[in-house]
Chain A
Amino acid sequence: MSERVAVRKTYKLFIGGKFPRSESGRSYLVQDSNVSLASRKDARDAVVAARAAGKGWAGATAYNRGQILYRVAEMLEGRREQFVALGVPADEVDAATDRWVWYAGWSDKLPQVYGGANPVAGPYFNLSAPEPTGVVAVVAPETPALLGLVSVIAPAIVTGNTVVVAASPTAPLAAVTLAEVLATSDLPGGVVNILTGRLSETVPTLAAHMDVNAIDLTGVTDPELAADLEVKAAENLKRVLRPVAAGHDWSADPGLGRMTALLETKTVWHPKGV
């Protein structure tokens, strides 16, 4: 009996809920695999997918979004060994799963914590509530490959944003595998889109894109590139999350900041009277 020949996986992009190859037909060799080398066009396609998904996702009930994020945790838990096989430490997979659970619970609590009635000096109903800013471009941290990625995606989408993520160029397999988790979690296609490849190709396109509302530069390690991306982002006044300092502790309590930085506050007034 000959030994069974393994079926290898093709690592592709994740755009609009589908797994296309790069439209450019290119790949690069990393982590012993050929991984799609996303082009500027792929980045633009991902923005279109994210925008298209935004209305439904932002319009879903907070309860529904919370359940879907919790479902992501369930799916990730079930694929624990798969991530370990990719070289992600088991502790990190567990922490990533727990982070999904933590953020899942925020969906229907953040609007209460971060908004509310304002006691204006007059006969008016006045209520402030957070809303998603829209399409968010995210540069995932280089490491930890899975926990870092989850820690930037979950806070962006739990409030109703949709994202285009530039995955870690040196450790993209965890990102593509996470896409498989997301694709089986009832998360609507296009809410999370993942690009693999060179940051220098995709991220400047996202930073300059006029239909992107915010950019999270967390994973950018070159200060000059970060400044240049921030300049590009100014063209349509994107909300900008600046890079985190080297040695950032991803296992620490994340706080509210990653969620609130990607929110708009809407305040509605109405007179009271009979």
Chain B
Amino acid sequence: MFEYAPAPESRSVVDLKPSYGLFIDGKFVDPADGGSFKSINPASEEVLAEIAEGGAQDVDRAVRAARKAYDKVWGPMPGRDRAKYLFRIARIIQERSRELAVLESLDNGKPIKESRDVDLPLVAAHFFYYAGWADKLEYAGFGRRPTSQHSGAYPQPLGVAAQVIPWNFPLLMLAWKIAPALAAGNTVVLKPAETTPLTALLFAEICQQADLPAGVVNIVTGAGETGRALVEHADVDKVAFTGSTDVGRAIARAVAGSRKKLTLELGGKAANIVFDDAPVDQAVEGIVNGIFFNQGHVCCAGSRLLVQESVAEQVLESLKRRMAQLRLGDPLDKNTDIGAINSAAQLSRIRELTEAGAAEGAQQWSPPCELPERGFWFAPTIFTGVTQAHRIAREEIFGPVLSVLTFRTPAEAVEKANNTPYGLSAGIWTEKGSRILWTADRLRAGVVWANTFNKFDPTSPFGGYKESGYGREGGRHGLEAYLNV
């Protein structure tokens, strides 16, 4: 292996304040009860900033601001003007992308290579894409106006959207939530994850810089209780959540019997299926990308490798050789492939499940890999000899851990791939076109990557079957979640 000299990205581009308030009605304000928490850099455990903890009163204030902005400004505003604000935001994100990328890597632990080359371009593209929809909603193909609808433009926005997002792609998930909501004419109150609030707060500054009318976007930071207060607030018309299936279930219960429209993007346990005719080197790159991208903190990660028995040995040998080349370390180093685990809590969850994997009889393997002393780290890991009954084959690990299973026939591959309550994504590797389409037809998953993996685009709908949630984000389908159709 080559020796790489350190190539760290400078963090001087980021101007962190010691503390941040809540962003409500266009201004940063102190929380009503004065609570706060710290956001740390998971690669060093250094405190980055003190963050306000929003309580029920703050949530109420934010929802009122959003309601007022919806009634007075954003709702009545012509779509072409809403579009211009969104285009402005997209441009400012592009202009400040270095700053946002470095801050994302600092707060989240993901390699700068990813935040710079994947997250930020997609964030800007998402705002740019939905900006263009704002004045074209009647062409979005949702059919005729139902006869019982009121007069006026069709289709109509819902009102105030409550949005709760996870820590794995903090700014990208913000974009997936805010861009379509605003394009459709809603106003939002968004709660970022408690371990990664910083880019959302910088986004609030971008809203100010874009002169976005006050109250259209409100950011309330906090943990689970803050999210609960937001989701349960009586004056919210729409709830959108990305995160764990358990919390998704709790939210579905919380909105039961209400008028709130709900979309959920939850967990996954994707199968990545490698057939015997697949080009091995390409498949191995896809497997690595599928499970080690973003430290495996990806709901659509290809966490179950299903490899055809006849090529299993060859694929595993190649995979191990490739894994030995992965560079783990400083997220700000431009050579880093695998950054830090986002939090101590997530690290202990990964450890617990991998210990269960070993205890249940699967064979654990990691390449020689030196872990930094401070911060939260987990070496890229594969388990072989995994059965479908093992916890590591059934539960979402959300870390750089791959479970390897084998199959003999295509029918068996499909059977095993679908043998999960999840249904977010899947991968297929084969040179035979008809086999791709046959397999894709049978996989119960919202996104199927054939001879590729973990590709995203604002025009491409994303979301799950079964317990991976409902509704789609991205594309024309993503508008539906924010329109009364």
- List residues of chain A with CB under 8 Å of any chain B CB: 113-114, 118-122, 124, 126, 128, 133, 213, 223-224, 226-228, 230-231, 233-237, 239, 248-249, 252-253, 255-257, 260, 264-271
Contacts and interface: CB of A to CB of B under 8 A. Distances in A.
A267 B461 contact: yes
Given A233-B256, A265-B461, 7 more contacts: A128-B460, A228-B257, A235-B249, A253-B147, A255-B143, A267-B446, A270-B452
Interface string B443-465: 11111111110010101111101
Nearest to B149: A255
Contact of B455 (A119, A213, A239, A269): A269
9 contacts: A120-B457, A122-B457, A128-B460, A128-B475, A230-B256, A237-B248, A257-B485, A264-B465, A265-B446
Contact of B460 (A227, A228, A257, A269): A269
Given A118-B475, A237-B264, A255-B143, A267 B460 contact: yes
B404 interface: no
Contacts of B449: 268-269
Contact of B249 (A226, A234, A253): A234
A237 B467 contact: yes
Contacts of B143: 255-257
Contacts of B447: 266-269
Given A267-B446, A268-B440, A234 B421 contact: no
Given A118-B459, A237-B245, A255 B144 contact: yes
Contacts of A230: 252-253, 256-257
B436 A270 contact: yes
Given A120-B457, A223-B257, A268 B146 contact: no
Contacts, number: 121
Contact of A237 (B125, B249, B475): B249
Given A236-B421, A265-B463, A269-B460, A124 B146 contact: no
A271 B125 CA distance: 20
B37 interface: no
A266 B446 contact: yes
A120 B459 contact: yes
Interface string B226-243: 000000000000000000
Contacts of A234: 249, 252-253, 256
A256 B460 CA distance: 21
Nearest to B121: A121
Contacts of A266: 440, 443, 445-448, 465
Contacts of A121: 125, 457, 459
A215 B245 CA distance: 19
B59 to A, nearest CB: 22
Interface string B97-138: 000000000000000000000000000010000000000000
B38 interface: no
A265 B142 CA distance: 15
B79 to A, nearest CB: 21
Q: Which of A114, A121, A268 has the most CB of B within 10 A?
A: A268
Q: Which of A113, A119, A224, A266 has the most CB of B within 10 A?
A: A266
A264 B452 CA distance: 22
Contacts of A122: 455, 457
B148 interface: yes
Given A234-B256, A237-B470, A113 B141 contact: yes
Contacts of A114: 141
A230 B248 CA distance: 14
A226 B460 contact: no
Contacts of A236: 421, 466-467
Interface in B464-483: 465-467, 469-470, 472, 475, 477, 480
8 cross-chain pairs, A with B, having the tightest CB-CB distances, nearest first: A227-B257, A230-B256, A234-B252, A120-B457, A252-B147, A118-B459, A256-B143, A270-B450
B245 to A, nearest CB: 7
B477 A265 contact: yes
B266 interface: yes
A124 B485 CA distance: 30
Nearest to B257: A227
Nearest to B453: A269
Nearest to B475: A118
Given A118-B461, A249-B148, A237 B450 contact: no
B461 A128 contact: yes
A226 B255 CA distance: 12
